[in-house]
Every structure is written in C-alpha cells, then in structure tokens.
Chain A
Amino acid sequence: MTTEPQAGNVWPIWEVFVRSSRGLSHVHAGSLHAPDAAMALRNARDLYTRRNEGVSIWVVPAEAIASSDPDSKGSFFESPQGKDYRHATYYTKSEGVKHL
C-alpha cells in the first residue's frame, strides 16, 4: 500500500499496531512519520519493537482512520444505556447455583 507523498519534507503520519505474540490482537503502539508503507514498517520495527515486543506489525496511514466524534459521546454510545439485561450480573436469582 502506498500513499501520496506529501509536498516538502513533511511525511505522512502512520499509526502503528503491534501483535505482541501469536494468538493476540494487534494493539495500537503509537505513530511515526514515513514517506511510504515500506519505510513506515522498518521505522516501526526500530521504534516499537527494540525488545522483542512484537511478532507482527501493521502500519496504517493516520488519514485513513475514521473515528467516532468525541463531541457526540452521549448520543453515539447511548443505545447500551439502560440495557443491563445484556450483562450476566443482571440475573441475580440464580446466585448460588453451581456452574451457572
């Protein structure tokens, strides 16, 4: 994957995700600047895995990430509110019953 190199000396920002060991998800580790994906991967290796912190790295152009709007915290995440019955702890009558 390549992104358009930006004008001047400003390279795009890449978000770095590292899988710490097989079986685990990639987790966001930080960000860096690089002219392309290949350099971003090499830089990410040097910057975020100097002590065997990872077995796999993803780099994603920061501008390709869509995120929820922090100003709409309330409305965007409203739907689970008041729906306690989605949690096991809502069901109290079975307390003391084994293996449940």
Chain B
Amino acid sequence: MASQTLQSVPAEPSPARHELSPEDAARRDAEGQAYFDKVMAEDSRIEPRDWMPPAYRKTLLRQISQHAHSEIIGMQPEANWISRAPSLKRKAILMAKVQDEAGHGLYLYSAAETLGQPRDQMMQDLMDGKAKYSSIFNYPARTWADMGAIGWMVDGAAIANQVPLCRASFGPYGRAMVRVCKEESFHQRQGFEILLELSHGTPEQKQMAQEAVNRWYAPALMMFGPPDDDSPNSKQSMAWNIKRFSNDELRNRFVGMMMEQVKVLELTLPDKDIRFNEETKKWEHGPLDWDEFHEVLAGRGPCNAQRLERRREAHQNGAWVREAAAAYAEKQAMKQAEKESAA
C-alpha cells in the first residue's frame, strides 16, 4: 500500500486519530509503543513517520529547535568582527564560518520540521523570546582574540557535545549532526590558530589571547548543561538513545582535551583545580557559577536583549527579499502557464 505523503513533514498516520474508535486508537498506540521499544532496544533509528511517544516527540522538538536557534543566534558574536578582522584571509575565514552557522541552523530547522512544527512558528518563537538557545551566545565578544577563544573553546565544546548526537535515535537529527560535525572541525582549528598566532606574537597580543581564554573558559564548560544531579531530563534522554553520555562525563572529557591543547598555545586555563583523578581515571575541574548560568538562561545575561533585538531586526530587514522572491516566483509561474496555454 503506497500513500501520498511528504518526505520532510510527517503526516498523521492514516486514518487520523480522530477517525478511529477509542479501542482502535489504543490498539495502534500499543502496537506503536511495542515497535518503538524494539527500535530502542536494538539501538536502531526512529524516522519521522514512525509512531513515537508524545513525550519523545516533544523532547526532540525542544532540543532540535533550541539547537537550531543557537546556531542562528551564534552567528552574531562573530559576525560582529567580520568588518574588523585583521586581514583579508581572516575575514574570508570568518565569513565562511558564519555562513556555516547559518547552514547548521537550517539543517536543524529541517530536522525539527519533520516532527511536525512549521519553521515559521519556530522562528517566531525565537523572535518572541519564547524559545531558548545556548546561553553561551549571550556573552559579548570583546576583542579579536575572542574569535580565537570562541572557535577553540565554544566550538570545541560544541563538537564534544555533538559527536555523540550523530548516533541520536531520531534519524533526521543524527543525519543533520553528521553534516554539522564534518564542518565544525574547521571552526575549532581556525580558532586555535588565531590564539596560537596571538600567543606567539607581542606580549600585548599574548595577554589579549590569555584574557579571552579566561573569559570564555567557564561559559564554555557550562555549555554541557547543569551537573548530572541537577539535570532531570538527562536520564530519560539517555533511555531514548538521544543522549549518549551525561553532561558531567562530556564536560570532564572536554577539560582533559583542553589541558593538553592549552600547552601548545603556551597559555593557561583559569582554573587551578583542574586535575586528573587517578582513581576514577577522569578529569576534574573547579566549581562553576551555576547561578550565573541560570540567570543567563532566564534572559538576564549580558547580551540577551541585544541578540534578540538583532535577530528581529535582521528578519524585518529581510522582508523585502522574501517578498521579492515570492513575487518573482509567482511571475515566472504565470509566464509558464501562459506559454503552456498558448502551445
């Protein structure tokens, strides 16, 4: 039996729920749950038109759309430096990176759409301040060295977070993440290179690099989310094979990688408590200010208002482009129809 459906937008399974008797609906749910459980047990993938528990859909929708918003808002701290990049080469690199972030946002909006949420609704929620995005993008990028620190630490943390998401149980999310991860490693390397050049430059440049590392260290570590004992949704996400490692596990692993890399930079991390615990074989770090994290997440960070204002402005300023594209498409369609009717 073949049915006409959209590939990227899930159709309600036919017949629709309201057309079924309560008994039939319950039976379909039970069958769907059994199949879903089997997919989870086999560590296989769920695709958009499969039955899924409403909470699974809701969790994914929230996570993927927040992720998409983060990519879109994440363009701002760096776009801010394009016109002030120190060379044409750095400018071209930064533009390519910001363009990638836009692309990542679009891959992720596409993945979220397959769960049944229209894209314009997601974008509206972002502009209305109803949707969350990564708190890291509410910090300002004060100097050119911040471009280095963002690439090395923020993109580095993002990669550590995203590589396991390539195996997320929801097919479209995993596929989007594979694409994102492939492109993300250039982001981290270009940031590392910016810091390396500064740290091997004049004493003032080295100091600028160190100060940027100091500024971004704690916010980057907090990108992994609250500590495990304060992360109520993590357990369910792990049971659903969306999340593969706990927040603390990924954070500790990331600290270990940074400790090695910072030596090459001949800089230091602003945390005297970092150590490798021989017993647990895990890296540990000093305390983080989780009150600040929650404040920024709640909209009271240094740049929250500015970021949203800029997003709204960009959307409004782009209105004429969207209108022109639609008008042009309409005109072409009319011309085509005239040609066809004349033939």
Contacts and interface: CB of A to CB of B under 8 A. Distances in A.
Binding partners A and B: yes
Interface in B111-130: 113, 118-120
B107 A11 contact: no
B47 A15 contact: no
Contact of A11 (B99, B113, B326): B326
Chain A interface main SS type: mixed
A31 B333 contact: no
Interface string A29-72: 01111111011000000110011000000000011011111111
B329 A2 contact: yes
A58 to B, nearest CB: 13
Contact-size category for B: 35 or more
Contacts of A72: 1
Contacts of A34: 325
Given A2-B329, A32-B106, A35-B329, A13 B8 contact: yes
Contacts of B336: 2
B103 interface: yes
Interface string B65-100: 000000000000000000000000000000010011
Interface of B: 1-9, 13-14, 47, 49-51, 96, 99-100, 103, 106-107, 110, 113, 118-120, 175-176, 179, 183, 322, 325-326, 328-330, 332-333, 336
Given A13-B8, A62-B9, A71-B51, 5 more contacts: A9-B326, A30-B176, A65-B5, A69-B2, A70-B49
7 contacts: A10-B120, A13-B6, A30-B110, A62-B8, A66-B4, A68-B1, A68-B3
